[in-house]
Chains A and B, each alone.
Chain A
């Protein structure tokens, strides 16, 4: 399958203030292959593809396109050369139709002719599209198809996809993979960026692995295990996380939500409709779902940061918490880890000590005669740093100076050491390196084994299956009935992801 090098990079270097994003990277992509670019967050994958697509220019190194040294000045030139790219975040106008969005990106053309071309291309690759539907109506998978078709209409030789499955259901992922195989059979090359190992193993012909801005290995994913790929990616042995602790069926309910309705106060928020759930002591309830289906609203409702419920109730350790603010909920025994690390869970330009005080004051009472006992806060912070292996120059380091993984370990540790009865955590390992993720998973399991109840909202299905005793799926602001882990498969979850879980009338969005 590797005939002639279509794209070949040699010695690519690119630095940003304070970081060498690409350090002497070589990469060869041949026509007709699906080539994975594998690496953790911050390994330099995005920088490298932005160089190929002309968004960034390398400081040093050569880009050869079809054998010739080429300077790619901008994305328009990249498209002319035959390079197409689908970004992780789509660039579509929600108020326009599929056809209009595609027409905007192409040279002027008769709309009816374009409609015919669009439908031909879409059906040739099995990408179902309805040209006249508005984008705001479409699922993430459908939106991605628009982006892909838009690229294909320009007949690219190389198609770059940046983390394409992060917004897709398992079923949508399968459709995408079929399309990509068809494209590869036509001798087009695909550069596939991912950190999902199983996906790369099943889809890709070759893989280039980046770590810390360097190319560390080239391999044939089919001959590797997920574990060996992970070890190449993070550069050390991966610890296997132990199995679930059993739950005592008679244990008490630490969090009970019933019939909860909440009107979202975000601009494009999702209203929560009739949410009911229960988490018992010593149990992890995992809530799967694609981003933007009400997870932010659910987290806000549980932590008490957003408006009070229109209907239903939230009960924390037996106390009705509907009208309680986060501080009172903490004093009841709940702790919270929101999804966004910087600016929500932690303040970037404050020290770790300040950030410990931020949420720790209620349960640990750092006040002495109305004043803050800073030495006590510093001791507590030191404790978190040591117990959770937070790599930092000291407790007085700014939160912004920590890597994503270390900051997340700090945040999770800060909450766990408060000895809660209930932990509500959203995306516990989103965007952190594999080593930190494993450490966080282990801590959550240890916490649960001591009888703490955990509600975990996560988009990462592997994580949900790894940690949860029961799983529910959030979709369009509704929640499916939670099922024990041995009674539910990833395919079931995929089916639950696209639907509203109750036949309820559409909520009125006009006031949102």
Chain B
């Protein structure tokens, strides 16, 4: 039998090497899968991982795709560090899109430049409100936040479908589910003409660095770190656990909500049933791939975004199925968890033990 033995020391380098190794092995495994599907692995891998990064429009697409992943991932990493397991960022993302986007639905003829900033604020508040439910139930009744936040995802999805098919449906939409198109003042300005990268992309790039600063330099950030690894020590330091639960869920919800409303005001321009290709769930992978470190999440968000864009490219030019994207994300997480195991444990082979005796 193989045995696992805890390592006496854990290397900092190994902790950061494991996501890199996970990406490398994912590429190799992907190559094998492409081969089995009768595709030329080097071409397919090139389309998948390299091509998106070779053109400015590809880079712009990666940035647009990475935005929501990074925003949500940074928010989740606060909670995950504190040991608060918010799995429902998808719901908070949708709630943010609904509340922020709702403003544009009601003021669809507005020409005020204040509309967009107001939507961003409302989007954050919407996400926070959605995350407040698990926070309240957790602190009041000790209800499991994993279940509550996850179930609220489905509530948010159904609420969105109800709104865009019912009260908020576009009267000129020929019956399709979806709201009116947002007015121009409610659309994120583009950074470069002809590319989809927008102002929200810049916000996304700033957030990880702000989060890093908060974690490293403020008492609040310190208490989040302590609470996650030693709740009793946090209490010893005078930190109330309930406050950390509230704060980390509100941050996670607020950033997910912000991501939702940015998505609605940029690439989509309206509310419709499918405003998220599962960003809220993929961001969980992003958070862990980034080692729950804000700057790591930034890099991980970009890496995962490449798999989305590469997946689209592979569908078009190599005729690969759409499911390959999800497959790659699953393989990355699998390898990451495996490497994490090896950074914490070493394997004792049976042959080595008998030889020693």
Contacts and interface: CB of A to CB of B under 8 A. Distances in A.
B240 to A, nearest CB: 7
7 cross-chain pairs, A with B, having the tightest CB-CB distances, nearest first: A18-B8, A327-B238, A326-B238, A17-B8, A344-B232, A347-B230, A343-B230
Interface in A327-356: 327-328, 330, 336, 338, 340, 343-350, 354
B229 interface: yes
Nearest to B7: A17
B346 to A, nearest CB: 8
Interface string A295-311: 00000000111000000
A361 B217 CA distance: 13
Contacts, number: 71
A362 interface: yes
Nearest to A366: B219
A344 B218 contact: no
Contacts of A346: 233
A354 B222 contact: yes
A372 B240 CA distance: 19
B266 to A, nearest CB: 33
Interface in B214-260: 217-219, 222, 225-226, 229-230, 232-233, 235-238, 240
A345 B219 CA distance: 18
Nearest to A305: B235
A325 interface: yes
B5 interface: yes
Given A17-B5, A17-B6, A350-B225, A344 B236 contact: yes
A17 B236 CA distance: 31
Given A347-B233, A358-B233, 7 more contacts: A17-B7, A17-B8, A18-B9, A327-B237, A328-B238, A358-B226, A361-B219
B323 interface: no
A99 B27 CA distance: 63
A352 to B, nearest CB: 14
Contact of B217 (A59, A349, A372): A372
Contact of A362 (B6, B218, B238): B238
Contact of B236 (A16, A345, A367, A374): A345
29 contacts: A16-B8, A17-B5, A17-B6, A59-B356, A303-B236, A305-B232, A305-B235, A326-B236, A330-B238, A340-B232, A343-B230, A343-B232, A344-B232, A344-B233, A344-B236, A345-B233, A345-B236, A347-B230, A347-B233, A348-B229, A350-B226, A354-B222, A354-B225, A354-B226, A358-B233, A359-B236, A362-B238, A372-B218, A374-B217
A305 B237 CA distance: 9
Question: Dominant SS at the A interface?
Answer: mixed
B94 to A, nearest CB: 34
A211 B227 CA distance: 37
A326 B8 CA distance: 34
A419 to B, nearest CB: 18
A63 B219 CA distance: 56
Interface of B: 5-9, 217-219, 222, 225-226, 229-230, 232-233, 235-238, 240, 346, 356-357
A325 B237 CA distance: 9
A357 interface: yes
A370 interface: yes
B238 A325 contact: yes
Nearest to B217: A371
Contacts of A338: 236
Interface in A140-193: none
Interface residues on chain A, size class: 35 or more
Contacts of A347: 226, 229-230, 233
Contacts of A325: 238, 240
Nearest to A324: B238
B100 to A, nearest CB: 29
Interface string A479-501: 00000000000000000000000
A343 B233 contact: yes
A337 to B, nearest CB: 10
Nearest to A300: B235
A17 B5 CA distance: 8
A348 B356 contact: no
A59 B348 CA distance: 14
Contacts of A305: 232, 235-236
B141 to A, nearest CB: 16
Interface centre among B225, B236, B357 (most CB of A within 10 A): B236
Contacts of B219: 361, 367, 372
Nearest to B240: A325
A335 to B, nearest CB: 11
A306 to B, nearest CB: 8
Interface centre among B7, B229, B232, B233 (most CB of A within 10 A): B233
A326 B7 contact: no
B218 A370 contact: yes
A371 B218 contact: yes
A348 B5 contact: no
A59 B353 CA distance: 9
Nearest to A354: B222
Contacts of B236: 303, 305, 326, 336, 338, 344-345, 358-359
A374 B221 CA distance: 13
B28 to A, nearest CB: 31
A461 B150 CA distance: 53
Nearest to B225: A350
Interface string A1-41: 00000000000000011110000000000000000000000
B281 to A, nearest CB: 28
Contact of B222 (A19, A330, A336, A372): A372
Contacts of B8: 16-19
Nearest to A337: B236
A237 B217 CA distance: 45
A273 to B, nearest CB: 24
B71 to A, nearest CB: 24
Nearest to A326: B238
B229 A350 contact: yes
Contacts of A303: 236
A358 B225 contact: no
A302 to B, nearest CB: 12
Contacts of A362: 238
A510 B294 CA distance: 46
Nearest to B237: A358
Nearest to B10: A349
Contacts of B238: 304, 325-328, 330, 362
Contacts of B217: 371-372, 374
Interface centre among B8, B219, B230 (most CB of A within 10 A): B230
Nearest to A374: B217
B6 A349 contact: no
Interface centre among B218, B232, B240 (most CB of A within 10 A): B232
A23 to B, nearest CB: 16
A19 B222 CA distance: 32
A346 B237 CA distance: 10
Contacts of B9: 18
Contacts of A361: 219, 237
A330 B233 CA distance: 15
